[in-house]
Amino acid sequence: MTPTRYAFIKAGWHADIVDRALEGFQQLIPADQIDVFDVPGAFEMPLLSRDLAATGRYAAVIAAAFVVDGGIYRHEFVAQAVVDGLMRAGMDTGVPVLSVSLTPHHYQETEHHTQIYRAHFVEKGREAARAALMIGKTRAALAA
């Protein structure tokens, strides 16, 4: 039997933006089919994604984060490590692990930028839901 539950991981940094992805996801997948997990930041998502996928309870695992240049470290390295880890979690477990992890080239903590990315994360959440449903449908057809 194919699982009908979804795991949704949210990174805590910029939660006011990241949490919008869950809102978009819930526009297509009912909230009662989604288990939500919070992590401190993007770097913690791959390990939890792998652990959740390995349980066999989920049709897909979705991981959402907003990785920005804080001026202290090279955010591109963090973003690349996260995306690589999420891909590896999916490949190792055979469960789709989808990323809603964005790394803008230019982000300033202004109301204008915040509103742009809040809206963008809603759309990215919807895109993740569509992808999860499509992958599930395709894999079910392959199994038949």
Distance, CA of 124 to CA of 137 (rounded, Å): 20
d(CA 132, CA 61): 9
Binding residues for (2S)-2-hydroxy-3-oxobutyl phosphate: 113
Q: Which residues are annotated as a binding site for 5-amino-6-(D-ribitylamino)uracil?
A: 13, 42-44, 66-68, 99
Please report, for residues 70, 82, 104, 128, 129, the alpha-carbon distance to residue 76 in angstroms, rounded to integers and kept in the order given: 11, 10, 10, 22, 26
126 catalytic residue (yes or no): no
Dihedral angle, C-alpha 96, 100, 102, 108, nearest 10 °: -160
Residue ranges for the binding site?
A: 13, 42-44, 66-68, 99, 113
Is the distance from CB of 85 to CB of 41 less than 8 angstroms? no
Catalytic residue among 74, 118, 130, 139: 74
Active site residues: 74
